[in-house]
Amino acid sequence: MPTTLRDCLAAKARDPSLADLIAMVVHTSAEISALVRRGALGEVFGALESQNVQGEVQKKLDVISNDMLLESCGASPALMAMASEEMDDIHPVRDLTPEGGYLLLFDPLDGSSNIDVNVSIGTIFSILPAPRADTPRPAVLADFLQKGRAQVAAGYVVYGPQTTLVLTLGDGVDAFTLDPETGDWLQTGSGVTIPVETKEYAINASNLRHWAPAVRGYIETCLEGETGPRGKNFNMRWIASMVADVHRIMMRGGVFLYPWDAREPDRAGKLRLMYEANPMSMLVEQAGGAAFDGHGPILDAEVNDLHQRISVMLGSRAEVEHLERLHRDA
């Protein structure tokens, strides 16, 4: 009999209340998956007139998924506050206490630009420890501004041909698949490991002319193939859904790049540190890979803003280390 998510959480989570919070996030993800599967039949497709804090046009399902996670996860007793890519500010749930608790951050529907064309999308989440407060008080923005190393759990759910959860509690990476008949999450991968070497990279190559010399040089030498300095042929993959691109890398190796772009020179990158880069970097490192922002490990990056952006290069360790050398030399 396959191990269930509940059994795995009972064995790995030191705090039952953390297991409860994770189970709540994953249960809601199953409900989001059902909406995604219904597609246009569920009347949840299309864009709204509103924009999120990043200035991006919101999809109907972005907002629906966000509201579902807010409502369901708020019932978890150890959850003190939440933050989402789709909201300007944090969402306090209950006062901080001397007992502590947890803070939840999430991208409710990563890759939502692909909703209408039936390409894999997903939900990404990160859990931080809540500060302990001798005198009860509501959570504030500063409580969330913790480095990625502080995460106690991270994961994503990808809505594709199967609905798959990839999860870490800081002790390796496990994968679970939703059984659509029973609603159970059954373990389909334990101790997930990213191969050290790879011949695949994921990047939006149409932006090559805008990248920093180190990234541009990396891709150009990959394109030279086995007759070039790398001595091997590379394949390029690009889905334009981070959760789908990273899932492929988690399952079979590769490197994912969303680097700094000269079109917005004052912005460190495109992806969000708290909702995307940190949770994915924790998963990748726990699977034996590496994650780099052009300056150092992503998980060590200073956090100054809830919606901070960052350059992201993560995946197979050998390729990320090669990118680190190129950036040092540049």
Length of the chain: 330
Q: Which of 137, 143, 174, 135 is nearest to 22 (CA)?
A: 174
Residue type at 298 in one-letter notation? I
Q: What are phi and psi for residue 180, nearest 5 degrees?
A: -65, -20
CA distance 188 to 12: 16
Would the annotation count 254 as a binding residue?
no
Question: Which three-class secondary structure state does DSSP give residue 180?
Answer: coil
Q: Are strands 312-315 and 290-292 parallel, antiparallel or unpaired?
A: antiparallel
Would the annotation count 145 as a binding residue?
no
CA distance 69 to 213: 41
Would the annotation count 111 as a binding residue?
yes
CA distance 140 to 244: 32
Would the annotation count 266 as a binding residue?
no
- Say which residue the tokens 């966000």 belong to: 66
Would the annotation count 118 as a binding residue?
no
Would the annotation count 65 as a binding residue?
no
Would the annotation count 147 as a binding residue?
no
Q: Enumerate residues 6+ apart whose C-beta is below 8 A from 41.
A: none
CA distance 62 to 245: 19
Would the annotation count 31 as a binding residue?
no
Would the annotation count 114 as a binding residue?
no
Q: Which residues are annotated as a binding site?
A: 85, 107, 109-113, 204, 270, 276
Q: Which residues are annotated as a binding site for substrate?
A: 110-113, 204, 270
Q: Which residues are annotated as a binding site for Mg(2+)?
A: 85, 107, 109-110, 276
